[in-house]
């Protein structure tokens, strides 16, 4: 009889835990961050593994709202949930600290060229010079956006004017007065290595920063956006964040 009671209690606990996981997942997707926060706090206290499992699923499913939710946790007194359960990248861009933005495949840093302020990858020069970036958050209509500021040149990232093929160069500018200068992040996970990376989308054009890097090239690679592209992948669109 005692064994049956224990089995019943275990089944009940698992059922409750599964329901909390589902509520957390659904609340993040729907943007109900207050409810999501209350569930995350409960799981953080009583069942950390279930909380981390749900976070991992939201990353694998490319849920943009997870970044927004983590920002709400960070700014409303629940930073320990981020530091204990989220990948480290989620707290790098909330501290108003300078970080590197690197391509997820090779680890080369985004830089701005002197004078022209073109955003590039330079395979032959992967130093920290002109590759210091600060993410400046903007919360609007229950969504999180960032202005991405280069500390070395006092410039903000934006997409330039598109050419006849719909290609827009990524550049730096000293003005940041429109949605062209605002970006949002979508997390993802490399299926082969389980490493976390992000797509960086422009708010105005809903287009991600793209790279077409050739492994054996020694040239500078201009970064860009392509309005006609609808598919994204790790190799050409994935970015990571590293402390300086």
Are residues 62 and 157 both part of a single domain? no
Are residues 71 and 122 both part of a single domain? no
Are residues 188 and 145 both part of a single domain? yes
pTM of the model: 0.90
Count of domains observed in the chain: 2
pLDDT values of the chain reduced to their tens digit, one per residue, 244 residues: 555 444 433 433 455 567 889 999 999 999 999 999 999 999 999 889 999 999 999 999 999 999 999 999 999 999 999 999 999 999 998 888 899 999 998 899 999 998 889 999 888 777 778 899 999 999 999 999 999 999 889 999 999 988 888 889 999 998 888 999 999 999 999 988 999 999 999 999 999 999 876 655 667 888 989 865 567 788 889 999 999 8
Are residues 54 and 139 both part of a single domain? no
Q: Which among 1, 19, 221 is positioned nearest to 109, based on CA atoms?
A: 221
Are residues 71 and 98 both part of a single domain? no
Are residues 230 and 175 both part of a single domain? yes
Are residues 99 and 82 both part of a single domain? no
Angle between helices 65-75 and 2-30 (to 10 degrees): 100
Q: CATH code at 65?
A: 1.10.10.2400
Residue 242's CB is within 10 A of a number of other CB atoms, namely 15
Q: Which among 186, 184, 179, 170 is positioned nearest to 220, based on CA atoms?
A: 170
Q: CATH code at 101?
A: 2.80.10.50
Domain coverage including residue 214? 92-243
Q: Which among 179, 177, 160 is positioned nearest to 119, based on CA atoms?
A: 160
Please, what's the b/e burial string for 78-115 (b: 16 or more CB within 10 A of its CB; e: otherwise)?
beebbeebbbebbbbbbeeebbbbbbbbeebbbbbbee
- Tell me which of 25, 53, 86 is where a domain ends: 86
């Amino acid at each position: 009889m005692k064994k049956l009671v224990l089995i019943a209690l275990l089944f009940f606990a698992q059922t409750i835990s599964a329901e909390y996981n589902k509520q957390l997942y659904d609340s993040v997707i729907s943007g109900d961050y207050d409810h999501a926060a209350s569930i995350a706090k409960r799981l953080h206290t009583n069942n950390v593994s279930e909380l981390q499992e749900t976070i991992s699923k939201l990353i694998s499913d490319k849920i943009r709202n997870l970044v927004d939710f983590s920002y709400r946790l960070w700014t409303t007194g629940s930073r320990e949930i981020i530091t204990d359960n989220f990948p480290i990248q989620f707290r790098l861009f909330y501290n108003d600290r300078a970080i590197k933005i690197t391509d997820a495949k090779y680890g080369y840093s985004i830089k701005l060229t002197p004078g022209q302020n073109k955003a590039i990858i330079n395979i032959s020069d992967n130093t920290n010079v002109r590759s210091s970036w600060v993410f400046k958050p903007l919360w609007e209509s229950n969504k999180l956006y960032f202005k991405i500021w280069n500390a070395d040149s006092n410039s903000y990232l934006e997409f330039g004017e598109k050419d006849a093929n719909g290609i827009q160069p990524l550049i730096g500018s000293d003005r940041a007065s429109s949605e062209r200068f605002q970006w949002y992040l979508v997390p993802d996970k490399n299926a082969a290595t389980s490493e976390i990376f992000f797509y960086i989308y422009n708010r105005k054009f809903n287009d991600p920063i793209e790279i077409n890097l050739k492994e054996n090239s020694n040239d500078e690679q201009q970064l860009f956006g392509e309005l006609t592209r609808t598919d994204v992948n790790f190799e050409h669109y994935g970015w990571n964040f590293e402390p300086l």
